[in-house]
Amino acid sequence: MWKLYDKIAYWFDENRSKELMEQEYLELTLKHVPKNGAVLDLGCGTGEPLAKYFIDQGFQVTGVDGSSEMIQLCQKRFPEMEWIVGDMREVSLDKKFDVVLAWDSFFHLQQDDQRAMFKVFSSHIKNGGVLVFTSGFKQAEVYSNMNGYNMYHASLDTDEYKKLLQDFGFTILLHKVEDPNCGMHTVWVAQKQK
């Protein structure tokens, strides 16, 4: 999957909206974390607009993406930040973050891999930190066309996501299904219990 993003990295960068339709969720996140904190962006893509938003707010961003082409764009744009070519399923950093972000990335994983990611999320987030991710809202596997390439997407159902969050010590701050003001994204914002 990540290698397909190498093939479409520049197309994706040109076509990915930089308009911050995600702002409601980002602002909510900022209300719950310290200023000038640290963000782990899993599936950071080209770094714009989400990583850039946090950088502009004074945060230190560590971005992880399986596409080396996308990571190169991040390094070029924001050389003072840390950018890692890697698989989010295998991330094991000796650090905890105020924010863990998996926007339009986590849903490329197969269902069992999504379940396993909650351990990764939990092990990389500070108590009181905020997890933000997008998903589907019912159990399904689908493909979408991106510049001529079939991209795999999967989802668990809403109740299972809720249970996984609860099991790993998260409280849901906000959950919206197919938000029409955010490109029909289904969004989760959850806080790790202190």
Q: What residue has token string 């996140």?
A: 29
Domains defined along the chain, listed by start = 2-16+24-192 (3.40.50.150)
Element (H, E) at 69: helix 68-77
| CB atoms closer than 10 angstroms to residue 193 | 11
- 3-state DSSP assignment of residue 51: helix
pTM: 0.91
- 3-state DSSP assignment of residue 66: coil
Please tell me which residue, 43 or 140, carries the higher pLDDT value.
43
Radius of gyration of the chain (CA): 15
pLDDT of residue 8 exceeding 80, the answer is no
Given pLDDT bands bounded at 50, 70 and 90, which one contains residue 150?
confident
How far apart are alpha carbons 78 and 89 in whole angstroms?
24
Contact 5, 15 (CB under 8 A): no
pLDDT score, position 6:
55
> In sequence order, which ranges of 133-182 are alpha helices (DSSP H)?
158-167
Contact 85, 74 (CB under 8 A): no
Given pLDDT bands bounded at 50, 70 and 90, which one contains residue 19?
confident
Helix axes 2-15, 68-77, angle to 10 degrees: 40
User: How far, CA to CA in Å, does 86 sit from each of 105, 111, 134?
Assistant: 13, 19, 20
pLDDT score, position 5:
55
Identify the burial level of 133 via C-beta atoms within 10 angstroms of its C-beta, where 0-12 means exposed, 13-18 middle and 19 or more buried: buried
**Closest residue by Cα to residue 114 from 150, 163, 151, 169:** 163
